[in-house]
Homo-oligomer: A and B are copies of this chain.
Amino acid sequence: MPPPSLLGYALLALLARRPATGYELSKRMRRPVGYFWTARHSQVYPELARLEAGGLVRHEVVDGAGPRPTKRYAATAAGVEALRTWLVTDMEPQPVRDLETLRLWSVWLLDAESALTLVAECRAVHAERLADYERELATLVDDPQAKDPRHPQFASRVTLEGGVRSRRVFVDWLDWMATELQRCSAAGAPGPP
């Protein structure tokens, strides 16, 4: 029996907090887990079956709405333990894939106007996410459970705080880039002839 995939650990992380159906897990993989990890339902259902085969989750049939029986999954003690073990094993840094930066790395190919448009578009993407995170974080700051390091809400709060901080920096950075583009354009060549 091979160890769970990264997706498997993501699902265990959700189920360690509370039991859920595959459908609910798929929804939470969009939000709030989607803030740092994503998966579609077509990935979730087979992975749940694999986790169950490994004894890390277990299901009971609860029969709700739908053509097939509805299954409510829960993490087993072995599942929570596997997750705990994974948390403390050291891992090498993951490859980064940042499409916005990839585009901005070629900003030198664009005229002043298009460049500013590209920067503004990237800013809008990050600003929207920032607003999401801030709204979500606001629901947690008053929660006394979010102050207990052994309560899931604590982890939710601190990871959200990280999301807010990093998105804020991206927005600031893109604002800085816009002024830098204008400052350097003014100093150098006066645009296309």
Interface residues of A (CB under 8 A from B): 6, 9-10, 13, 16, 33-38, 80, 83-84, 86-88, 90-91, 93-110, 112, 114-115, 117-118, 121, 125, 128-129, 147-152, 154-156, 158-159, 161-163, 165-166, 169-170, 172-173, 176-177, 180-181, 184-185, 187-189
CB-CB under 8 A from A147, the residues of chain B are 184, 187-188
Copies in the complex: 2
In the assembled complex, the Cα of A163 lies from the Cα of B170 at a distance in Å of 9
A141 to chain B, nearest CB (A): 12
- Partner of A91 from the list B10, B99, B114 (CB cut-off 8 Å) is B99
If the complex has contacts A87-B114, A98-B37, are A108 and B151 also in contact, measured as CB distance less than 8 A? yes
Q: Is the interface of A mostly helix, strand, loop or mixed?
A: helix
Assembly CA distance A112 to B102 (angstroms): 39
> Are the C-beta atoms of A96 and B34 separated by less than 8 Å?
yes
Tell me how far the C-beta of A110 lies from the nearest C-beta in chain B, rounded to whole angstroms. 6
A-B contact pairs, 30 of them (CB 8 A): A9-B102, A10-B102, A16-B109, A34-B95, A35-B96, A35-B101, A36-B101, A37-B98, A38-B96, A84-B110, A87-B109, A87-B110, A88-B114, A88-B117, A90-B121, A93-B128, A104-B158, A104-B159, A105-B155, A106-B155, A107-B158, A108-B150, A108-B155, A147-B187, A148-B184, A149-B184, A149-B185, A150-B189, A161-B176, A162-B177
